């Protein structure tokens, strides 16, 4: 496997949530740094020895602007 992509969003409870595209993987963290470590742990747990070469994060930030 070459890569796995995670969609990262700010959590309504605070912190961040990440879910993998095409795989049943979900994790969260209070900071981006904690989230990255949790993502690596989740990927290692899920794939074992057959790890992807790249873990790509697609970080989405929702903002509301008023005209």
8-59 residue pLDDT tens: 999 999 999 999 999 999 999 999 999 999 999 999 999 999 999 999 999 9
Distance CA 45, CA 53 (A): 15
Helix (H) / strand (E) element for 53: namely none
- Residue 39: how many other CB atoms lie within 10 Å: 23
Distance CA 44, CA 13 (A): 26
In three-state secondary structure terms, 10 is strand
Give the rounded distance of the alpha carbon of 2 from its chain centre: 17
Report pTM: 0.88
């Amino acid at each position: 496997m070459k890569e796995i992509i995670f969609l990262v969003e700010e959590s309504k409870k605070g912190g961040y949530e990440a879910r993998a595209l095409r795989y049943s993987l979900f994790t969260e963290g209070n900071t981006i740094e904690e989230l990255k470590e949790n993502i690596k742990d989740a990927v290692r747990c899920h794939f074992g020895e057959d790890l992807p070469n790249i873990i790509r994060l697609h970080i989405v930030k929702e903002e509301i602007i008023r005209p």
